[in-house]
Amino acid sequence: MEIKLGKIDYTTLDRSVIFLYGSEVAARALPLKRDEAAYLEQRRKDDISSLVVFGRLPHKIYVQNFDSELPNSEALEKLRRAAAELQQTLSAEKVERVAVTGEGVIPEEVVAFLEGLHLANYRFDRYKAKKDSLLQEVVLEQHILDQAALDENLRLWRRIDTMRNWVNEPVMQLNAPRFADLLAAEAEKVGNVKCTVLGQKKIESLKMGGLLAVNRGSEDEARFVVLEYKPSDRINRKPVALVGKGVMYDTGGLNIKTGDYMVEMKSDMAGAALMASTVLAAAENGLPVWLRAYLPLTDNRPGKNAYAADDILTMYDGTTVEITNTDAEGRLILADAIAYASQEEPELIIDAATLTGAAVRALGTKVAAVMQDGAEGPLNLLRIVGGKVYERLAELPFWKDYDELLKSNVADMINCNLHANAGTITAGRFLAHFAHGCPYIHLDIAGVAFYSQRESFYGVGASGFGLRLLYAFCQMYEATMQN
């Protein structure tokens, strides 16, 4: 979908118009007859979030009411969601070209609406013969937003769409070696991102025991990808390390998933897609934050010489881990990546992973779980920007007492608590061990990375959740340096 600035003339409408009506000042700019204006005001009085449609054959005027007096973050989220519903209407009516305008609206309100419209307009339909009718072009009234601000947001939204494509792609088309090649090509296209791809032999020489063990059941080799964006005007003296779980497909291994639990497991690499996309988005828009993404990539299969419960692994940092469940594989590959990142002494480590079903059971699909160890300041900022962009976080306790649940009789740790207690927390505590004292934040995005039913502008399938959150965090990162 193309979004561009232009001038809207109501006397010679060449397309339907969406008018954003947030406060009473807007009424004077609407080209409505007296009875139409009265009807609009009554509808607005009855429901301040209503959509009112007026015919202007062969086009229409869609008046989207909203309450500009609501708290800022709530008002913006309602605009995104209203845009998503309107996109559904436009799609059903096969409308491909619209204009967007308003009176008395502020730029961030318009950006939120366009964001919802753009993200709701996404479809993963490359394998479908019959495709949905989607918006192709949006003209925004040129006085509302400047070109630079529009361009920055468009680059971010397109990066979200690309991220969703990666997560939606089935493993038969996108395995670990292909994803590594794709990331290298993407980094080259962006231009100011360095991509290092470690192949199977290099991973073996580094003795990444977790990544190698999970990969043992696969026909495809593992990869370990490092993406680095190091701007000359960077504000941080050491990089922020972003670690993403890249299980390209998760069968559960020998602890194979039963019932329908294997469906949608192509999305188990959403953490890697998110962290790669954060680096690329920051680079495309020139944010002054030094970032490195560490992405361990493999699928988890029960074939060949697959690792088994009771195996004891030696991880990259020398920690020994007794395997109690091969379906707790994500933390094994992340542990190697976090340990590898920690040796380079980053300013902060953040990982993101579709890690535990326990997070979904505890929190549902509206919020991501977050935990921190020694990173209270950065987490506070992350929580603030999460509220602003409405990609919200629920902090779970992260006391060291939980480490008791990871003790092994035969190794330094077990990989999975055998009891159904504090599953999300113990998974995070397992990973925190490998950060070796670096300030550390763990994001469990299991409930928000992929939707089996439509969820507003996140749609069906890969949601893209987390990129707006981490991008906003990078925009505001300097605030953490004062803590």
Q: What pLDDT is stored for residue 25 in this prediction?
A: 79
Predicted confidence (pLDDT) at residue 420 exceeds the cutoff of 90: no
Which tokens is 302 given?
């029960």
- Mind listing the pLDDT tens digit for each residue in 100-120? 999 889 999 999 999 999 999
**pLDDT, tens digit (0-9, with 9 covering 90-100), for 265-310:** 999 999 999 999 999 999 999 999 999 999 999 999 999 999 999 9
Residue 239 has a pLDDT of 98
What are the tens digits of pLDDT across the range 139-149? 999 999 999 99
In 315-470, where do the E strands start and end? Answer: 320-322, 348-353, 368-373, 393-395, 413-414, 440-444, 450-455, 459-462
pLDDT value at position 419?
Answer: 82
* CA distances from residue 36 to 9, 54, 83 in whole angstroms, order as listed: 19, 8, 22
Phi, psi of 259 (to 5 degrees): 55, -135
pTM: 0.97
pLDDT per residue over 366-381, tens digit each?
999 999 999 999 999 9
Nearest to 120 by CA among 75, 163, 90: 90
Query: Contact 424/444 with Cβ under 8 angstroms?
Result: yes
> Distance between CA 310 and CA 213 in Å, rounded?
13
pLDDT at 187 over 80: yes
pLDDT bracket for residue 482 (50, 70, 90): low
Q: Is 478's pLDDT higher than 70?
A: yes
Q: What are the two backbone dihedrals, phi and then psi, of residue 384, each rounded to the nearest 5 degrees?
A: -65, -50
Candidates 264, 263, 187, 257; CA nearest to 228 is 187
Q: What percent of the chain has pLDDT over 70?
A: 100
Structurally, at CATH architecture level, domain 156-482 sits in 3-Layer(aba) Sandwich (3.40)
| Average pLDDT of the residues in 179-193 | 98
Mean per-residue pLDDT over the chain, rounded = 96
In this model, does residue 483 exceed pLDDT 70? no
Tokens of 309: 């419960």
List all residues 6 or more positions away from 56 whose beta carbon is below 8 Å from its beta carbon.
13, 16
Question: What pLDDT score was predicted for residue 13?
Answer: 87
Q: Which residue has the higher pLDDT, 31 or 171?
A: 171
What residues are labeled active site? Answer: 257, 331
Q: Does residue 121 sit in helix, strand or coil?
A: coil
Cα separation of the two ends of the chain: 41
Q: Which amino acid is it at 186?
A: E
pLDDT in tens, 438-449: 999 999 999 999
Name the segment(s) of the chain with CATH classification 3.40.630.10: 156-482
Q: How far apart, in whole angstroms, are the C-alpha atoms of residue 213 and residue 322?
A: 12
Overall fold of domain 2-145: Leucine Aminopeptidase, subunit E; domain 1 (3.40.220)
Q: Which residues contact 23 (CB under 8 A, 6 or more apart)?
A: 68, 69, 104
Spatial distance between the Cα atoms of 211 and 333, rounded to a whole number of angstroms: 4
Pick the closest to residue 73 from 112, 32, 119 (CA basis): 112
Which pLDDT band, with edges at 50, 70 and 90, does 26 fall under? confident
- Specify the DSSP element, H or E, that contains 160: helix 147-168
The structure tokens listed for 173 are 């088309």
Please tell me the predicted confidence (pLDDT) of residue 407: 97
Q: Per residue, what are the HEC states of 182-224?
A: HHHHHHHHHCCCEEEEECHHHHHHHCCHHHHHHHCCCCCCCEE
Residue 233: which pLDDT band, with cuts at 50, 70 and 90? very high
Query: How many angstroms separate the CA atoms of 167 and 132, rounded?
Result: 20
Model pLDDT, residue 24:
81
Strands 393-395 and 320-322: unpaired
pLDDT at position 257: 96
Structure tokens at 477: 């990162």
Query: For 220-232, what is the mean pLDDT?
Result: 98
